[in-house]
Amino acid sequence: DTEVTQTPKHLVMGMTNKKSLKCEQHMGHRAMYWYKQKAKKPPELMFVYSYEKLSINESVPSRFSPECPNSSLLNLHLHALQPEDSALYLCASSRGTGDYEQYFGPGTRLTVT
């Protein structure tokens, strides 16, 4: 199984809502990532988890809160977002944080109204 799954596929939320994005992989990968991608732009790294510990936070605003409950799951908790946070949120995983390819999930298309 070389699949990374993400739910939901689409999400519309108001600026006062709290929601969560979920990501799951069953490849035994020990590194998991959250990326944000705006239209016609490359993926922009937000967070890296290595062995379930947060190892990189790319100065992401605190309204985004990641969580790694176990080695297969990664969540992104959203609170008080702004319209400019509307984007495609991609989860990825890899065997480790070294020279390994990343497997991306299909993404969650988020719209903040």
Binding site for another protein (CB under 8 A): 31, 40-45, 48, 50, 55-56, 58, 90, 97, 99, 101-107
In the bound state with another protein, the residue whose beta carbon lies nearer, of 84 and 99, is: 99
Minimal distance, residue 52 CB to another protein, in Å? 15
3-state secondary structure 54-92: EEEECCCCCCEEEEEEECCEEEEEEECCCHHHCEEEEEE
Minimal distance, residue 72 CB to another protein, in Å? 19
In the bound state with another protein, the residue whose beta carbon lies nearer, of 66 and 105, is: 105
Q: Around Cβ 28, how many Cβ atoms within 10 Å?
A: 10
CA angle 35, 38, 40 (to 5 degrees): 120
DSSP 105: P
In the bound state with another protein, the residue whose beta carbon lies nearer, of 27 and 80, is: 27
Cα 71 from chain centre = 14
In the bound state with another protein, the residue whose beta carbon lies nearer, of 39 and 70, is: 39
Minimal distance, residue 16 CB to another protein, in Å? 29
